[in-house]
Amino acid sequence: MPTKQETLPIPERAQQILRLLIEEYIRSGQPVGSRTLSQMGSISFSSATIRNVMGDLEDMGFLTSPHTSAGRIPTAQGYRFFVDKLVRVSTLDTSEIQRFQANLEANLTPEELLKTASNYLSQMTHMAGIITVPRQNAVIFDHIEFIALSDQRVLVVLITNDREVQNRIIKVDRDFSRAELEYAANYVNREYVGMDLTSVRDKIKTELESARADMHDQMSAVIDMAGHVLMTDDNTEKDAVIVEGQTNLMTFEELSDVELLKKLFDTFNQKRDILHLLENCIAAEGVSIFIGQETGHQIPDECSIVTAPYNSDGNVIGMLGVIGPTRMAYDRIIPIVDVTSKLLGAALNFK
């Protein structure tokens, strides 16, 4: 978890210049020089004074010069100080919040609510919206049936938690008779009934790895068929995170490098690092901000992540947030993430 920096002996004048420089860089995406700052109506220092202060801030590690003759841009340390000490959080438009709230209050399933929230984050920030799917309680295996279809396909009817029914079609390597399918169903129902699916998968994996020579053909076919169905985990890491708006990030110049985009989109595709990061800060209260290397995962250093937990019945059940360049409008992103988490939690409480 990123922690707020210790208070540094930075004069108020230097803090004012640092805040204005970062705000201008976030707005323009271009290095900011002393002349640009001196022309702002909100500052009364001369260009020479500003230039000297910018040099001091660079020596302290808050700014850097991308080119010798260019202006300055903030470093990750500069962004961290800005976020912790200087950012002025804006107020969101009330009508926009009300429209989003109305969308959440529509007749949506919990899964649809999560996708709506991720879409909202993406659309409002023009970045990538992310949200973790609440982990389900243990799924208990109750009953299974196999029904032969054409073209070496089998319809599987799986019942869990005494009432939840899933229908799946699996592809097998040969045609099975009705008697074989009944035998397989009877075996699976007898051996695994009442077990949670995690334990079922572990047991099947062990049996699949045992010497096939110790099994007769029919038993081997049964284990293979059970493995087709029950070794498929519907709650994988890829399914545990919803990501919307990845392509928005291609519009930012600092993220337009081909190799950087490839790394970023690989992260979105795998989702493992995003999931681990969000789960690691699930105990945090309010909005958390990770800048560059602070993520501790394989997320590009050029990116920041703003996250917040969402609740149901008073308990934190997931995290949501926004991924974008370090040059993001934190003053606007922070309240968007905060409001979205609160409205999503409120909507889930009514389901």
Average pLDDT over residues 73-101: 92
Q: What is the pLDDT of residues 230-265, one digit of tens each?
A: 665 544 444 678 889 988 988 888 888 888 877 777
Of 170, 199, 230, the residue at which a domain comes to its end is 230
Q: What is the mean pLDDT of residues 316-332?
A: 92
Q: Quote the distance between the C-alpha of residue 40 and its chain's center.
A: 38
Helix axes 110-125, 94-104, angle to 10 degrees: 160
Is residue 6 in a domain? no
Quick one: 249 and 294 in the same domain? yes
Mean pLDDT, range 216-238, rounded to an integer: 60
Confidence of residue 211 (pLDDT cuts 50, 70, 90): very low
**For residue 212, is pLDDT > 60?**
no
Q: What percent of the chain has pLDDT over 90?
A: 34
113-131 mean pLDDT? 93
Same domain, 53 and 126: no
Q: Which helix (H) or strand (E) holds 189?
A: helix 178-192
254 and 208: one domain? Answer: no
Q: What pLDDT does 323 receive?
A: 93
Residue where a domain terminates, one of 181, 211, 230:
230
**Mean per-residue pLDDT, 184-210:** 78
In this structure, what are the phi and psi dihedrals at residue 129, rounded to the nearest 5 degrees?
Answer: -95, 135
Assign 321 a pLDDT band (cuts: 50, 70, 90).
Answer: very high
Please report, as a single letter, which amino acid is at residue 221.
A
Query: What average pLDDT does the structure give for the chain?
Result: 83
Q: Which residue has the higher pLDDT, 63 or 201?
A: 63
Residues 229 and 285: their CA atoms lie apart, in Å, by 39
User: In this structure, are 345 and 256 located in the same domain?
Assistant: yes
Kindly report the CATH number assigned to the domain that includes residue 157: 3.30.390
pLDDT at 52: 94
Q: Determine the Cα–Cα distance for residues 203 and 190; give it in Å rounded to an integer.
A: 14
Say whether both 246 and 116 belong to one domain. Answer: yes
Q: Are residues 183 and 215 in the same domain?
A: yes
In the chain, how many domains are there?
A: 3
**Amino acid (1-letter code) at residue 215:** M
Residue 190, judged by CB atoms within 10 A of its CB (0-12, 13-18, 19+), counts as exposed
Tokens coding 147: 């029904």
Please provide residue 176's backbone torsions phi and psi, each rounded to the nearest 5 degrees.
Answer: -115, 145
220 and 78 part of one domain: no
**Cα 223 from chain centroid (whole Å):** 36
Residue 3 has pLDDT above 90, yes or no: no
Cα 77 to Cα 2, 59, 289, 326, 331: the distances in Å are: 12, 12, 13, 11, 17
Above 90 in pLDDT, residue 337? yes
* 1 in any annotated domain: no
Structural domain including 148 reads: 141-230
What tokens appear for 287 in the block?
């909005």
Tell me the two tokens of residue 128: 């990538």
Q: Residues 129, 269: one domain?
A: yes
Whole-prediction pTM: 0.69
Residues 146 and 22 occupy one common structural domain: no
pLDDT band at 131 (very low <50, low <70, confident <90, very high): very high
Same domain (yes/no): 251, 217: no
Closest CA to 223 of 202, 207, 199, 200: 207
Q: Residues 5-33: what's their mean pLDDT?
A: 87
What are the C-alpha distances in Å from 305 to residues 2, 104, 149, 191? 11, 24, 48, 46
Q: Do residues 42 and 21 both lie within one domain?
A: yes
Q: Name the band, by pLDDT with cuts 50, 70 and 90, for residue 123.
A: very high
pLDDT at 235: 44
